[in-house]
Structure 1
Amino acid sequence: MPYLTVEKKANIFKEFGGSEKNTGSVEAQIALVTERINSISAHLKQNKKDFSTHRGLMKMVGQRKRLLSYLSKTNLSGYRALIEKLGIRK
């Protein structure tokens, strides 16, 4: 069973991107990557020796970091609202 269904993706894009069609907005991309990171983190808690998945997780964390860096440079208030909404950067 896929962890990220079409409906779930559409909800993420609707909530963070403004519409289901706006898949390219930075906020929607960050929210989608965060959802994938949370899912893979839960998988790795049960499968501690799954090193290939761990590498994929690290790549996603780096991608999210780059996207967040871009967002903080272009739209600081949007960046602060997004990290508050997603619950990252405690």
Structure 2
Amino acid sequence: IPIPLISQYSKMLSRSLLARPLTRALSNVAGIHRAGQAIDSYPGQLRQSITSDELVKGVADENDIARLKRVFSFENASQPEINAMVKSRMIQRFQLKPGDSGCTEVQVAILTAKIHYLAHHMEVNRKDFSSRRGLEACVHKRRALLTYLKRTKFARYMDLIKNLDMRDTIRVWPTERANDRRK
């Protein structure tokens, strides 16, 4: 096969793989701009549980201070650290009272962040079938939690789906969608 045909094929393949996103990106939820990535909404935040004053204690040189802050910033964090930070931000944003991490809203928000991370992972690794099963399980669990929340606390349900940038599926009958209704 001639070289130009291979390069055209690879360009065409890369365009077709990138043209089909699995989900919409979380735009403003807990500082996420892309699935699993931390946005720079907290530019001075460090990934360890130390403050910047504790980090620079005993360091006199300004260049060393700048290097230390770069090393411990979230720009250099690993994916598990980013996922833990996103989870803690979701808990802080959707908790009903301090220390509340088990309410339905928090569980749905955490599952939404996990779904977006797994969807991004599935775009990159299309043949990872165990992650696909995990993604489907997360979607099913989130759907069940949203159904419960919609049935019991409708106002909080509407507020949650608005904050998470999700759609509400309106059903005319319990087994039919509004646009699929037959006469």
TM-score (ref. length: structure 2)? 0.46
Aligned counterpart for 1:31 among listed residues 81, 103, 109: 109
Q: CA deviation at 1:76?
A: 0.5
> CA 1:19–1:4 in structure 2 vs 1: closer, same or farther (change >3 Å)?
farther
Residue 51 of structure 1 aligns with which residue?
Answer: 129
Aligned counterpart for 1:71 among listed residues 149, 153, 157: 149
**Among the aligned pairs, what percent are the same residue?**
34
CA distance in 2, matches of 1:44, 1:20: 34
Give the 4+ runs in structure 1 shifted more than 3 A: none
Paired AA for residue 83 in structure 2 = L
Matched length: 89
Q: CA deviation at 1:77?
A: 0.9
Residue 15 of structure 1 aligns with which residue?
Answer: 93
Report if the CA contact (8 A) 1:72-1:79 is conserved: yes
Q: CA deviation at 1:11?
A: 1.7
Which runs of 5 or more residues in structure 1 are unaligned?
none
Report if the CA contact (8 A) 2:86-2:113 is conserved: no
Root-mean-square deviation (CA, aligned residues, Å) is 1.5
SS at the partner of 1:4? helix
Q: CA deviation at 1:20?
A: 5.2
SS at the partner of 2:83? coil
Higher helix share: 1
Report if the CA contact (8 A) 1:13-1:19 is conserved: no
Residue 4 of structure 1 aligns with which residue?
Answer: 83
CA distance in 1, matches of 2:123, 2:117: 10
CA distance in 1, matches of 2:111, 2:94: 12
CA distance in 2, matches of 1:18, 1:27: 9
Q: CA deviation at 1:18?
A: 3.2
Q: CA deviation at 1:19?
A: 4.5
